[in-house]
Amino acid sequence: METVWITGASSGIGEACALRWAAEGAKLVLTSHEPEKLVEVAAQCRAAGAPEVLVRPYDFRNPEGLEALAEEAWAAAGRIDILYLNAGISQRTTVEDTPPQMNRLILEVNFFAPTTLARVIAAKMVAAGGGKIAVTTSIAGRFGFPLRCAYSASKHALYGWFETLSAEYYAKGLRVTFICPGRVRTNISVNSLDKGGVPHGVMDPGQAGGITPEKAARIIIRGIRRSRREVPVGSKELIMLPIKRFFPGLAARLSRRIKPM
């Protein structure tokens, strides 16, 4: 029986993955900054077949307690076979309208929090014989995108940090998978920070036409099980990934033309 810890588990991709893993009989640890929604998801996971669901709410804007959270989650679960670092926050502001404090907040949630948890859990996985760590990046982690300066920076940073983690621990049984979503029908655009740091409140049209979280979950879990290095998740927008790789100048021109909302 696998034990899976999912962050950002109260909605969207995290919730869909939790329910799918539950139906497959996994033991779950669920974390989110929304305690009430997390309890609801946990109840659904138990009904779906999860033999045990542990709820560990946490606000990733608070860095001080992250190491303790990781230690406690591991101890409570007994061990963690798969850590899926999915929690994150986005924005809808230009560079000029993104103050330093917003940059720091987004980096705190999207980069410093997952790397802190991974640092603790990776060492424990290696000591226990191995394990898998997956992290949600984004196609915005592969190229710059309008109105996403801090978000894109945080996702670029995840690639550098977790590629290093993989290089250092691969021979010791640790497998790292990058989950790279394009457009998935979640509330990330609704909850994105707008000018003044308030929620954007609107789902982007492109995202509204994206694949469902349930379809995304099937792709993600299959990729993690197969220990794939990177798992693109989405539809036609994923063509930007090979364009960026082989034709970076064209990718830059296209990114300037894409409607950011």
Catalytic residues: 151
237 Cβ neighbours under 8 A, 6+ residues apart? 139, 182, 183, 206
Tokens 């033309």 -> residue: 257
How many C-beta neighbours within 10 Å does residue 115 have? 18
Helices (H) and strands (E) in the chain, counts: 10, 7
In angstroms, the CA 244 to CA 240 distance is: 6
In this structure, the dihedral spanned by the alpha carbons of residues 159, 162, 168 and 174, taken in order and rounded to 10 degrees, is: -130
The burial of 114, by beta-carbon neighbours within 10 Å (0-12 exposed, 13-18 middle, 19 or more buried), is given as buried
In the three-class reduction of DSSP (H, G, I as helix; E, B as strand; rest coil), residue 9 is classed as coil
Cβ-contact 42, 20 below 8 angstroms? no
Radius of gyration for the alpha carbons in the chain, expressed in angstroms and rounded: 17
Cβ-contact 40, 18 below 8 angstroms? no
In angstroms, the CA 169 to CA 176 distance is: 9
Among candidate residues 3, 2, 10, 12, the one with its CA nearest the CA of residue 220: 12
In angstroms, the CA 121 to CA 140 distance is: 26
Amino acid at 224: I
